[in-house]
Amino acid sequence: MKKVSISDIARKAGVSVSTVSFVMNDKAVKMRISREVITRVENVAREMGYRPNQLARGLRTGKTKTIGLIVENISNAFFACLAKTIEDEAKKYDYKVVYCSTDNDEAKARDLINMLSQRQVDGYIIVPTLHLADDIRKLQAENKPVVLIDRYFPEHAEIPSVLVDNYAGVTEGMEYLITKGYRKIALVTIEAEMAHMNDRLQAYYDVLNRHGIPLDKRLIKLVPYGYVHEAALEEVMDFLSTERKEIDAVFFLTNYLGVLGIETIKNQHIKVPEEMAVLCFDDNDIFRLYTPTISVIRQPIAEIGQAAMSSLMERLKYTGPEEFPENAPIRLAAELLPRESI
């Protein structure tokens, strides 16, 4: 089978060979080629099965057509689904993804950035650890595009991000619980100074205050971040066992904690929702399969991945800060899914 050349693409697309070369080598925007022509050339190339020599292209353009994806824990259902979405989206742009996990460890996160930098990835999509802002700003200073997902740095608006509106999601969940008649709403969250988790916690406080429900700190459980499964489970079990009589609903602020909650509820023979209603931020297959099914605030994983890739691709097209897209955070809405547990 004859190998497809850029001349073949040019003839079919009705453009010059140089135009195809500019598009294939990511110079179309710089050469002021219209978006319509770029799209036509890319579609024709895809239809004809054009496969450029990536090594030669990388030497010629300085681009490797790879993206570094850094998440907290690739084994977590949320991050695994997000990584798969990003990988699928990257394929549409003819990019490959190298992904890895930080385990929320600062030193490991920096080592991973260095490793990906040595592999000369073209850009990064990162779930940042708490103190990683300076490292990310260094990447930006080196003209390496970065888009944050899931988490952000409130004091560094210059770093683009794609986020779920955590505050609005928890607010909607709390309002729903209160309209269903629940007043003694316990909260189980992680003990970590992450901006997105602080947003969720603040929403809990604000809704209680708005409805004149006194804040009972006994009903708030902070599970130390990084605890192994057995230790975290023991924390949740002790909490629900001790405060069981004071709780009529419990809101888990991560799906991992929600899974621990289900295990606790089963072990302690708590009837849901008769004795205790259950709501969790973020979905999990277990929540749909458990009896009764568990109500959730579902994050739009596909939309997060698509928006992150689109934002990164836009930045990879530009050559100077005067042309760079705005860095305003993209905030997506979470969705309340009431199930049998409320």
User: For the segment 183-198, what is each residue's pLDDT rounded down to a tens digit?
Assistant: 999 999 999 889 999 9
* Mean pLDDT along residues 310-314: 92
Please report the pLDDT score of residue 279 as a whole number. Answer: 98
Q: What is the pLDDT of residue 55?
A: 47
For residues 9-21, give the mean pLDDT.
Answer: 91
Instruction: Provide the residue ranges of all domains of the chain, joining segments of one domain with +.
Output: 6-52, 61-162+301-330, 166-298
| Of the candidates 16, 18, 42, 3, the residue with the CA atom closest to the CA atom of residue 317 | 42
At 58, the pLDDT band (50, 70, 90 cuts) reads low
Query: What are the start-end ranges of the H helices in the chain?
Result: 6-13, 17-24, 35-47, 54-61, 77-92, 106-118, 133-141, 166-179, 195-210, 229-243, 255-267, 285-289, 301-317
Tell me whether domains 6-52 and 166-298 share a fold. Answer: no
Share of the chain above pLDDT 90, in %: 70
Q: pLDDT higher for 130 or 326?
A: 130
Among 61, 176, 75, residue whose Cα is nearest residue 122: 61
Arithmetic mean of pLDDT, 37-43: 90
Judged against a pLDDT cut of 50, whether residue 103 lies above it is answered with yes
pLDDT at residue 5 is higher than 90: no
As a whole number, the mean pLDDT across the chain is 90
Query: What pLDDT shows up at residue 296?
Result: 98
Distances (CA, A) of 103 to 87, 136, 294: 20, 18, 27
Comparing 110 with 316, which gets the higher pLDDT? 110
**pTM (2 d.p.):** 0.79
Residue 261 confidence (pLDDT) above 70: yes
Q: Which fold has domain 6-52?
A: 434 Repressor (Amino-terminal Domain) (1.10.260)
On the question of pLDDT at 139 being above 60, the answer is: yes
The per-residue pLDDT for 157 is: 84
Determine the topology of domain 61-162+301-330 in CATH. Rossmann fold (3.40.50)
**Domain 166-298 class in CATH:** alpha beta
How far is the C-alpha of 190 from the C-alpha of 54, rounded, in Å? 43
Position 56 pLDDT exceeds 80: no
List all residues 6 or more positions away from 7 whose beta carbon is below 8 Å from its beta carbon. 17
The mean pLDDT of 15-25, rounded to a whole number, is: 87
Return the pLDDT at 35.
Answer: 86
pLDDT tens-place string over residues 274-296: 999 999 999 999 999 999 999 99
**Once rounded to an integer, what is the mean pLDDT over residues 57-83?**
83
pLDDT, greater one: 96 or 3: 96
Question: Residue range 238-251: average pLDDT?
Answer: 94
pLDDT band at 325 (very low <50, low <70, confident <90, very high): low
User: What's the pLDDT at 252?
Assistant: 98
Higher pLDDT, 21 or 188: 188
Comparison of pLDDT for 222 and 3, the residue scoring more: 222
Q: Which residues contact 296 (CB under 8 A, 6 or more apart)?
A: 255, 258, 279, 280, 281, 282, 283, 284, 287, 336, 337, 339
